[in-house]
Amino acid sequence: MQQARPSPGFRRNPDKKITVAPHACAVTVSAGSTVLATTRQAKRLEEEGYPPVLYIPFDDIRFAALERTESKSHCPYKGDASYWRLAETGAAPDVMWAYEDPYEEMLAIKDHGAFYADRVTFEEH
pLDDT band (50, 70, 90) for residue 3: low
What is the CATH number assigned to the segment(s) 17-124? Answer: 2.170.150.40
Hey, is 69 helix, strand or coil?
A: strand
- Considering the chain, what percentage of its residues have pLDDT values greater than 90? 91
- The pTM of the whole model exceeds 0.85: yes
Query: Which strands make up the sheet holding 34-39, listed edge to edge?
Result: 34-39, 27-31, 121-124
Q: Contact, 119 vs 30, CB < 8 A?
A: no
Please state the rounded mean pLDDT for residues 50-73.
97
Map out the domains of the chain as residue ranges: 17-124
